[in-house]
Amino acid sequence: MRSSIGIDVHKFSKDIPLVIGGVKIDFGRGLEGHSDGDVLVHAVIDSLLGGAAMGDIGTKFPSDDDDFKDIDSLLLLETTMKLIKERGWVPTYLDATIVAQIPSLSPYIQEMKNNLSNYLKISPDQVNVKATTTDGLGFLGDSQGIASIAIATMENII
């Protein structure tokens, strides 16, 4: 068994959709990124790759590779699952926190949880997603962007 942490942060930008956990959120700004800027999925990917001792999202899906430009991050998660499984690792539990002053994410949490459960191939009761604010502190509190932290517990099946 192993546990590993993944962290991701993206700043807001106008005229792009906001996607978190594979869910499109009705909001006037999105998150800037080479892919779709999905901070939650990116943190999950980093936690999975870390648990399998396979580096990080930037080494597997580099931002200078046009193949990943504007790609749906759930497709990157699908590829990540194949990569870690080839090494004998599968997730058994995921706990993730989204840090955002705005928008309110509570209406979307269950759908995010369901998306992650489907892609991780574990039951929804093995996935926890929550959101918090920084009570107005720092760049996240100033609503300049969103961050996410994910901890994956993994098991070797080989």
Each residue's pLDDT, cut to its tens digit, for the chain (158 residues) gives 999 999 999 999 999 999 999 999 999 999 999 899 999 999 999 999 999 999 999 999 988 888 888 899 999 999 999 999 999 999 999 999 999 999 999 999 999 999 999 999 999 999 999 999 999 999 999 999 999 999 999 999 98
Within the chain, residue ranges assigned H as helices are: 39-51, 57-60, 73-86, 109-120, 138-141
Tens-place pLDDT, residues 133-143: 999 999 999 99
DSSP secondary structure code for residue 126 in this structure: G
Reported pTM: 0.96
The residue among 32, 48, 140, 135 whose CA lies nearest residue 96 is 48
Residue 129 neighbours by CB under 8 Å, 6+ apart = 21, 40, 96, 97, 98, 109, 112, 113, 116
- Domains of the chain in start order, with CATH, are 2-156 (3.30.1330.50)
Task: Tell me how far apart the terminal alpha carbons of the chain are, to the nearest angstrom.
Answer: 12
